[in-house]
Amino acid sequence: MGRFWFLLVGGLVLLVMLLSPWAVPLREFDGTGYLLNPLGAINPKGLSLPEGLAFNWLGVAFGFWVLLVLAAGGALFLPNAETRARVLYILGGLGLAIFAVEAILFYQAIHAANEAAVAAGARRPPLRRFALSLGVYAGFFYALGLLLLARMQLPGGLAFLVRFRGVVVPIVSLLLAVVLGAMVVAILRPGLGTQGVEGLGLRELIAGKLDLVTYTFQILFSPILNLTGIFTSLGFATPLIFTGLAVAFGFRAGMFNIGAPGQLTMGAIFAMLAGVYLPFPSWLLLPSAILAAALGGALWGGLVGWLKARFGANEVINTIMMNYIAASVLLFLIAANEYRFFGQTVRLPFKAEGFEGRSEEIQEGARIPLMIHILAPDSTFSWALPLAVLAGLGVYYGLRRLELGRRLLFALGALVLGFVVGGFLPGFPVTISSALASQLLNGSFLIAVMALLFYNFYLFRTSAGYELRATGLAPKAAEYAGVNLRQKMVLAMLISGALAGLAATHYVLGAGMDGTYRLKTAIPSSVGFDGIAVALMGQNTPLGIFLSATLFGVLLAGGVSLNAQLGISNQIIQVLQALIILFIAVGGLLPRYFTDPLRAAQVETEAKAEQEARQARSAPAAGD
Amino acid sequence: MEIVIALFFSTLRQAAPLLLTALGGLFSERSGVVNIALEGMILFGAAAAAITVNRIEVATGGLEAFWIPWVGLLVGALVGGLVGLVHAVASIKYRADQIVSGTAINIAALGAPSIVLQVLYNNTSTSQEVQNRLPNVDLGPSSVSILVIFAFLLVPVVWWVLFKTPWGLRLRAVGEHPEAAETMGVNVIRMRYTAVILSGVLAGIAGAYLSIGFLNQFIRAMSAGAGFIALAALIFGKWHPFGVLGATLLFGFAQALAIQLQGGDILPATIVQALPFILTMLVLAGFIGRSRPPAAVGKPYDK
């Protein structure tokens, strides 16, 4: 990458700063805002700020950024790489400092104005929706870019990036998807606050569009800002963890499982049948209902694995066909009671009374409680779960010396002990807001975490998992080493399907769909497809899957308010997912040494050799 | 007798989009690129065609003219081709996993039309109904859309192009042994680009047939698996135009039968709807004949 590209980026950043809103101190519910900009505020709808609120520092800050960009551009022409890196590090740090000062100044001014207004007798603070905006963010990302560029100047800089390609590729893909998604939004919707206003200049129109785009993503990411939002997000993330694990498990074993929607549906049907009809006592009922969900998914996935192993039938098309068939089975069971078979009337008992297609209610004993009830039953914080998790993890990581099986056993014991002891410890009362109490995040989230642990343990700590991964990486080599490929195909699809089926525990047993403990025809089976994005984004690693599922959970939760506030369909999240999948598939448009392991290894060895040569050269000099 | 005739014409109507899509997929797969994105290309084409026709009608105040649906068809085909280009760039230039890239397009095809529909019609699932549909051709007892005729006429044309022209020979060579073809002076990359874009255009036409020929509006996910069934027809038809014709007629017949049986008291509709998919799986498992794909299919080409 040439220096001139970098200069171009610097110019672009300054241009964005000139055109975009830097911060929005005041915003209406429909999105119309008062946009601050160094060239003067942009305010087409004529909103008025409270008396005495002024942001005179914007011009000064912009001046600093111009100097910074110029200095960074000049620094790249320094002859010595180490000086270059040092100067760029300093400039990047300075940029971050300017960003921090901007943020502090802005939020302080807002709070001061609000407090003044309340002291003067206002019933509510006048400024309720306010945030930094694109102009300030642009500086922040430019400063981060400078730090990265500084690292790139030092020896082994490229190898450094390549070594972290498992993180670099998803992040670059996410950024590209966000930019493209922003363009889609900007094309389709009018700029905020510019609709229906006559005689606007180009500057207002551009700022309005940029504000629209920024605000869209601010809303999408807003759920992370409060506890209720985090609960909502994790509720959306729970099924995504399951389906992401399902798809990733298939990938690891060299199978592309696009059948998670069908496997989820089958799991839901089995869970419903067990949860409604099994005449078990409650201690046995819940585990069997959960197992039934896994079993339903495993059957649906395993069948495809068997078809591939036995007949060589392509699993991609077969899993898709199984999705449609599962949807038909679901409708058949709970959309109607009466059917005509060859002139005979057949009655099915599964559909409950009423217009909607839904099953009977799950028995009390088979219901998974809400997370809020697990954490704080009867509005009293309980130590049971936190202590159990702490004890389990502590023992697992404390007993590293022990052989793995015993270590697990002890950890499990500590977990149970922690749960029991924590249950007896006196908790403390907490107040739960009604918004938080209505969140549908339930105990299924804990099952999802256990599924993550299982995935990690099975694939990376057992020989069976090792064989499975070997099958995925190099089937012929694995077969030569004695792995039974056909058996592994069936096994991989069985487990993958079971993981997808477990997602049904969230919807059916945990009432994660709409708060009712029933199976409904409207069960959102398409989260099975979302699992593909989760698996790719998480690079098939357990931590990655958890993080990317949470990210998509946040976006889905934000999509609800986006629809309510700006009238943009929450389908935008599906498009973002599709774009992320596409960009990861093309390796984030990055050079091939980021995607091709062989070339990556080449880059890393070259860097290592270079470093050793450098040390060899400097060693005699030090010895003198 | 009446029911047999109805079933016959219904089969033609159901088979036509499958046939168009499968013939497109034939080019793509014969050139060595797996195209699982056919489903999404149909949807993009269908949405583009219906929305174009509706916008023209709105702009002209409800004009009814013979050219309007043809413009819709053209836009549908172009958009299909564009989506094909995306798949081609991803899988040829950037050597992406072709199934992953195709899946991305299929997921986008579920979401992207909804965003446009929301802006234009304030709902996320259907477009407004159009007045100007593609013309029907009278065939005695019943009539079918002109695209149905086009689809069936296309079969011998594709056969001739693939097996009787130098271009077809090169295309097949590229899909079987790209290195050998390159040595003989064939531009592998360009052949693959052309083939994938062509498959997008044909899938886009199939989509336009669904939205402004068979029906009169776009409905979210209206292709209902047609792209995947077309892929299965490709395998079942042994990657040969006449084989594909037979396979799509079989699948079309299954779908027509499903429609005929609906509302009757022989089998419940929900079960009947699953029949084409079950049939597809039986076909893929090789219960009804075996087939061999082009040797280089799914493999990125590296010079």
SS (H, E, C) chain B: CHHHHHHHHHHHHHHHHHHHHHHHHHHHHHCCCCCCCHHHHHHHHHHHHHHHHHHHHHHCCCCCCCHHHHHHHHHHHHHHHHHHHHHHHHHHHCCCCHHHHHHHHHHHHHHHHHHHHHHHHCCCCECCCCCCCCCEEEECCEEEEHHHHHHHHHHHHHHHHHHHCHHHHHHHHHHHCHHHHHHCCCCHHHHHHHHHHHHHHHHHHHHHHHHHHHCCCCECCCCCCHHHHHHHHHHHCCCCHHHHHHHHHHHHHHHHHHHHHCCCCCCCHHHHHHHHHHHHHHHHCCCCCCCCCCCCCCCCCCC
Within an 8 Å CB–CB cutoff, is residue B118 touching chain A? yes
Region B119-148 average pLDDT:
85
Contacts of A536 in chain B (CB under 8 A): 100
Domain range summary for chain A, segments of one domain joined by +: 3-154, 239-381+428-567
**10-residue stretch averages of pLDDT, chain A, 624 residues long:** 82 92 86 86 80 83 92 87 90 94 91 86 83 92 92 82 86 92 87 76 86 90 90 93 95 91 95 91 90 95 92 86 92 84 82 83 88 82 85 84 82 87 82 81 91 92 90 90 90 95 93 87 88 90 94 92 84 89 86 81 84 78 49
Q: Write the pLDDT tens digit of every residue in B58-87.
A: 888 878 888 889 999 999 999 999 999 999
At A374 the pLDDT is 83
Which of B94, B122, B303 would you mutate first to test chain A, the one with the most A CBs within 10 A?
B94
Nearest residue in A to B267, CA atom: A341
CB contacts under 8 A, B 224-263 vs A, are: 224-225, 228, 231-232, 235
User: Which of A189, A316, A567 is facing B99, going by the closest CB pair?
Assistant: A316
- C-alpha distances in angstroms, B125 versus A154, A524, A566, A576, B213? 53, 16, 18, 19, 19
Q: Which DSSP string corresponds to A301-355? A: HHHHHHHHHHH---HHHHHHHHHHHHHHHHHHHHS-SEEEETTEEEE-S-BPSSS
- Tell me whether residues B268 and A332 touch, CB distance under 8 A: yes
DSSP state of A377: G
* pLDDT at residue number A624: 46
Dihedral sign of CA atoms A491, A492, A493, A495 in order: positive
Rounded percentage of chain B residues whose pLDDT exceeds 90: 45
Q: Which fold has domain B2-284?
A: ABC transporter involved in vitamin B12 uptake, BtuC (1.10.3470)
Residues of chain B found within 8 Å of residue A529, distances taken between Cβ atoms: 103, 107, 110
Give the CATH number of domain A3-154.
1.20.140
pLDDT given for residue A143 in this prediction = 94
Nearest CA in chain A to B236: A313
For residue B96, list chain A residues with Cβ-Cβ distance below 8 A.
582, 585-587
Which of B107, B124, B286 lies nearest to residue A578, judging by beta carbons? B107
- Lowest-confidence pick of A37-41, A370-374, B88-92, B270-274: B270-274
Residue A307 touches partner B, C-beta closer than 8 Å: yes
- What percent of chain B has a predicted confidence (pLDDT) above 70? 98
* B124 or A471, higher pLDDT: A471
Do the Cβ atoms of A586 and B284 come within 8 Å?
no
Beta carbons of A585 and B235 less than 8 Å apart: no
Place B173 in a pLDDT band, splitting at 50, 70 and 90: very high
Q: Which residue of A has its CA nearest to B109?
A: A575
DSSP structural state of residue A190:
P
E strand or H helix at A42: none
Rounded to whole angstroms, how far apart are CA atoms A345 and A598? 64
| CB contact A331 to B (< 8 Å) | yes
ipTM summary value: 0.92
* Cβ <8 Å between B107 and A581: yes
Shortest CA distance from A570: residue in chain B: B115
Residue B105 contacts A, CB cutoff 8 Å: yes
